[in-house]
Amino acid sequence: QSVLTQPPSASGTPGQRVTISCSGSSSNIESNTVNWYQHLPGTAPKLLIYRNNQRPSGVPDRFSGSRSGTSASLAISGLQSEDEADYYCASWDDSLNNWVFGGGTKLTVL
Amino acid sequence: EVQLVESGGGLVQPGRSLRLSCIGSGFTFGDYAMSWVRQAPGKGLKWVGFIRSEPYGGTTEYAASVKGRFTISRDDSKSIAYLQMSSLKTEDTAVYYCVTGPYGMDVWGQGTTVTVSS
């Protein structure tokens, strides 16, 4: 059971916009910033979004993040086949004194 | 280029110990906390623990599932972080990643596989 809750799967067709939600609580998302990661099997996870909505250099602006209260979301516009991957949210939890992850969302590009 | 390289994984029997290493390059290693994150087969990412940088006390925090069994340490002079794992259980089988960066967990190593099995 993950502290942060994500839908297990999401899907879209090329060119579409999809969003992935991440639900937490007052001790994590509401109090601390959220990171989003893209993970392809057999590779190292890649930071997509940090501090809720900031993109590291090299990450396309098709990826965007937002946070409101105890929830956060990742939006991917202009969906491409190469976006098919697992996506994870993460945040620091003040009660646990731990980083916590969502359970991951498997994105399928149809 | 900022890089993290893990080593030390392998097959180990339940109850035994194993030490993982993580060597950093391309950045000032001592400036950042070093985390360990694992992924069990078919499962999601799980944070294992971290060690703060020396300016922040060099203290450690651990996930409840490993507290008392795992110990994280660092040698900034060698740009190495360690994950000492003891009393290993079959459920510790996973790919272990070391992670660091100015935003907490930005840069990830490629991971090293630990298999706990008799």
Q: pLDDT of B5-23, one tens digit each?
A: 999 999 999 999 999 999 9
Q: With bands split at pLDDT 50, 70 and 90, how would you rate the model's confidence at B71?
A: very high
Q: B45, A101: Cβ pair inside 8 Å?
A: yes
A35 CB neighbours in chain B (<8 A) are 103-105
pLDDT recorded at residue A109: 96
Cβ of B50 within 8 Å of Cβ of A99? The answer is: yes
The tens digit of pLDDT for each residue in A63-96 reads 999 999 999 999 999 999 999 999 999 999 999 9
Q: What is the percent of chain A where pLDDT is above 90?
A: 96
CA geometry: angle B106, B112, B113, nearest 5 deg: 130
d(CA A79, CA A102): 22
Say whether A47 and B63 touch across the interface (CB within 8 A). Answer: no
pLDDT score for A26: 96
Cβ-Cβ contacts under 8 Å, B61 against chain A = 97-98
Pick the residue from chain A with its C-alpha nearest to B95: A42
Asked whether the beta carbons of B26 and B37 are under 8 A apart, the reply is no
Residues 6+ apart with CB under 8 A from B37: A45, A99, A101, B45, B46, B47, B48, B96, B97, B99, B105, B108
Interface test with B, best of A34, A46, A98, A100 (most B CBs within 10 A): A98
pLDDT classification of B104: cutoffs 50, 70, 90: confident
- Across the interface, whether the CB atoms of B101 and A43 are under 8 A apart is answered no
Nearest CA distance, B35 vs chain A (angstrom): 9
Whole-number pLDDT of residue A76: 98
